[in-house]
Homo-oligomer: A and B are copies of this chain.
Amino acid sequence: MHCGPLGRFLSLIITGMALSAAAAHAQQDTPLNLMPYPSSVQSGSGNLKIDSSFRISLTGYSEPRLERAAERFLRTLHRQTALLIAGKPSEVANATLVVHTDHASKEIQELGEDESYSLEVTPSGAKLTAATPLGTLHGFQTFLQLVHISPDGFVAPAVTIHDQPRFPWRGLMIDSARHFIPLDVLRRNIDGLEAVKMNVFHWHLSENQGFRVESKKFPKLHELGSDGLYYSQEEIHDLIEYARDRGIRVVPEFDVPGHSTAWFVGYPELASGGGPYSIERRWGVFDPAFDPTSEKTYKFLDTFFGEMAKLFPDHFFHVGGDEVNGKEWDANARIQQFKKDHGLKSNEELQSYFNKRLEPLVAKHGKSMVGWDEVLDPTLPKDIVIQSWRGPDGVAAAAKAGFRVLLSNGYYLDLGWSSARHYAVDPLSGPAANLTDEEKFRILGGESCMWAEYVNPENVDSRIWPRNAVIAERLWSPQQLTDPDSMHHRMEFLSTRMEWLGLTHKTYYRQMLQRIAGAGASPEELAALTTLANVVEPVKDYTREETATAEPTSATPLNRLVDAVPLESATVRHFNEQVEKFLASSCHDQVLATRLRKQLSYWKDNDAELQPLAQRSSLVKEVAASSQDLSTLGSIGLDALDFITKGQPAPADWKTQQLTTLDQIAKPKAQLLLMPTAAIQKLVEASAASPCVGSN
């Protein structure tokens, strides 16, 4: 059954009511380290012991996918605990965890299927019940998150959980076109999606810089457009099966009419310019675009979509549609004439024409078309889905216009935002909060986006995780769950657990730092580099190109400190929290003062350890100035603390001088931002106030 509007609407009301109560509970009380946090959690007393005798039993509806899921569950439990647990499901009588699945989910996973589950853990056993295998999969992940080491070995706490998602579309987009991302990297990230209960992998497969899918109809697409880096149809088929096993739909994106240089290397006749074309090596928005006036274009896309529609079974088919600069259209007299002949006043109208021609080609193969903001045109069929990326108002606008919509604005992982900032972005906040229930119902959920100018197989996991988990929680958990402290705590917890899935978001770091330092760096030197690395973040948003000394291309090695450090510094987040607390105590908290002094001294002395290494490694030399700045930050912070703890306000000219220095330090160097600067500035401000007050 396809879940029609009325059914979904009723379910929204019911779910909405259930959530209000549950969310209020969750908001006040999130003692379990679960992420995304379930909609209803009731703690019991005692623990279920997890040891080698642990057994699982599958009852009710049965299918091979469930058996594979149970075996995978046991393997993950083994990795978490190293316990040697029998790897196969067992009889109910011997089972520690009894699983009951009621009935099958759809053969091809659909939007809006029942993903709910209940999990009851008592000291004597556990029970997981779900309507469909999708719920069972989610329940397995919750159980794994419950297992932890205790004074009595591994246990899961007694608890009763009822859980279901807030939104039916919870996705991650990975751009594997700008930098090719190998299948094993995709697989481990799909494992990550399963762990945080996301259910869509949006696969961005074509770009100016590469066409990544084998086409049997048009082999020059991948042969000439990919540098040999593409996925075979068999590999794609296998990845889709892999994702289906984990309750995840795979939505392909073939971006047209812009972002399409790589298509034209093999098929220049489809482009609006004269060609010839070669694979783009730079980053940015480029001129090449499909010719929307040529029937060849539609014939080609019809055949190509037909081939891809078979390869990708999902009901949704993404055609991109973003960022057409129109230059090739403007420069082509025939296209200009076409616009006049058809009364198309702008390139936007020309693109609308293109989309209207495109949509039936997608629909013909039984699919619903998805496109970025730019495809929004009220005259298009209401079956299409808009993915909103350009601003916070796009979601409401699309929903008002009658379209289904996904939020991605605010969820771009490549922009380097903090987890708290992503967490605060809600599909139903801002203008969307004022929509009617019917309009709200069109908001299907959202997708985080991992654009790949500066990611490769080595660092991509660290750009996705752990921040993606908080977006997953936003899309799954009750809206009222917003406390950033609880979120940060649970995110760190989950981040550690996710290593057991094979994600490399933590291990890559030391390895990249070691490469930067050189294999001959002493442990002390490597520690000094790590201290610096722990407090810098890459420049934010779209400033990486601006701040580059040479134009970056796809051939630029990603081996610098800016490529190695996480996009959010946990060290600085903790430091900021301590500074806030110290100031909020009106500078009276002596324990905190001591801790801050220790940290600041450490930073102050770090540069002396690092400079010898900067003389030996060009990749360290590049960040030597930041290291000196960190030392200065340490000194200024210590001076400010001294003024504060002595109770004597700092002189005004001292304050002015330090703030000038801090302004300089705040500027990016080697494309890195020294993140403690803002907190040090607060200390300086406070040191000059009399008496120190917990302002800011």
Which residue numbers of A lie inside 8 Å of B, CB to CB? 33, 52, 80-84, 148-153, 458, 493-494, 496-497, 499-500, 506-507, 510-511, 514-520, 555-559, 615-619, 621
Complex: A362 Cα to B106 Cα, angstroms: 59
User: What residues on B are CB-neighbors of A458 within 8 Å?
Assistant: 82
Smallest Cβ distance from A154 to chain B, in angstroms? Answer: 8
User: What residues on B are CB-neighbors of A621 within 8 Å?
Assistant: 151
Complex: A534 Cα to B129 Cα, angstroms: 45
- Residue in B closest to A78 when the chains form the complex, CB atoms: B557
> A515 is contacted by which of B81, B557, B617 (Cβ under 8 Å)?
B81
Verify B83–A557 contact, CB threshold 8 A: yes
Verify A618–B150 contact, CB threshold 8 A: yes
Complex: A506 Cα to B507 Cα, angstroms: 10
Verify B150–A82 contact, CB threshold 8 A: no
User: What residues on B are CB-neighbors of A506 within 8 Å?
Assistant: 510
Smallest Cβ distance from A368 to chain B, in angstroms? Answer: 39
> A52 is contacted by which of B516, B557, B558 (Cβ under 8 Å)?
B557
Given A148-B520, A499-B514, A519-B148, A81 contacting B153 (CB threshold 8 A): no
- Copies of this subunit: 2
Verify A497–B519 contact, CB threshold 8 A: yes
Verify A81–B559 contact, CB threshold 8 A: yes
Provide a sorted-by-A list of 24 A–B residue pairs whose CB atoms are within 8 angstroms. Answer: A33-B519, A52-B557, A81-B557, A82-B558, A82-B559, A83-B557, A84-B555, A84-B556, A148-B518, A149-B616, A149-B617, A150-B616, A150-B617, A150-B618, A151-B616, A151-B617, A151-B618, A152-B618, A153-B618, A493-B520, A497-B519, A499-B514, A507-B507, A507-B510
- Residue in B closest to A558 when the chains form the complex, CB atoms: B82
User: What residues on B are CB-neighbors of A518 within 8 Å?
Assistant: 148-149
User: What residues on B are CB-neighbors of A514 within 8 Å?
Assistant: 496, 499
Smallest Cβ distance from A623 to chain B, in angstroms? Answer: 13
Smallest Cβ distance from A426 to chain B, in angstroms? Answer: 27
User: What residues on B are CB-neighbors of A150 within 8 Å?
Assistant: 616-618
Complex: A558 Cα to B372 Cα, angstroms: 50
Given A499-B511, A514-B499, A83 contacting B559 (CB threshold 8 A): yes
Given A499-B514, A514-B499, A149 contacting B52 (CB threshold 8 A): no
- Residue in B closest to A516 when the chains form the complex, CB atoms: B149
Smallest Cβ distance from A79 to chain B, in angstroms? Answer: 9
Given contacts A149-B619, A151-B615, A499-B514, 13 further A-B contacts (CB under 8 A): A33-B520, A52-B557, A81-B559, A82-B515, A83-B559, A148-B519, A149-B618, A151-B617, A152-B618, A153-B618, A499-B511, A507-B510, A507-B511
Complex: A499 Cα to B512 Cα, angstroms: 11
Complex: A257 Cα to B81 Cα, angstroms: 37
- Residue in B closest to A497 when the chains form the complex, CB atoms: B519
Complex: A547 Cα to B514 Cα, angstroms: 38
Smallest Cβ distance from A642 to chain B, in angstroms? Answer: 24
User: What residues on B are CB-neighbors of A151 within 8 Å?
Assistant: 615-618, 621
Verify B84–A557 contact, CB threshold 8 A: yes
Complex: A507 Cα to B511 Cα, angstroms: 9
- Residue in B closest to A511 when the chains form the complex, CB atoms: B499
User: What residues on B are CB-neighbors of A152 within 8 Å?
Assistant: 618
Given A80-B515, A82-B515, A616-B150, A52 contacting B520 (CB threshold 8 A): no
User: What residues on B are CB-neighbors of A497 within 8 Å?
Assistant: 519
Complex: A616 Cα to B148 Cα, angstroms: 10
> A555 is contacted by which of B52, B153, B507, B516 (Cβ under 8 Å)?
B52
Complex: A374 Cα to B209 Cα, angstroms: 64
Q: Which of A149, A510, A514 has the most CB of B within 10 A?
A: A149
Smallest Cβ distance from A52 to chain B, in angstroms? Answer: 6
Smallest Cβ distance from A228 to chain B, in angstroms? Answer: 9
Verify B493–A519 contact, CB threshold 8 A: yes
- Residue in B closest to A553 when the chains form the complex, CB atoms: B84
Complex: A514 Cα to B493 Cα, angstroms: 11
User: What residues on B are CB-neighbors of A80 within 8 Å?
Assistant: 515
- Residue in B closest to A83 when the chains form the complex, CB atoms: B557
- Residue in B closest to A504 when the chains form the complex, CB atoms: B507
- Residue in B closest to A564 when the chains form the complex, CB atoms: B82
User: What residues on B are CB-neighbors of A510 within 8 Å?
Assistant: 506-507
> A557 is contacted by which of B82, B516, B558 (Cβ under 8 Å)?
B82
User: What residues on B are CB-neighbors of A496 within 8 Å?
Assistant: 514, 519
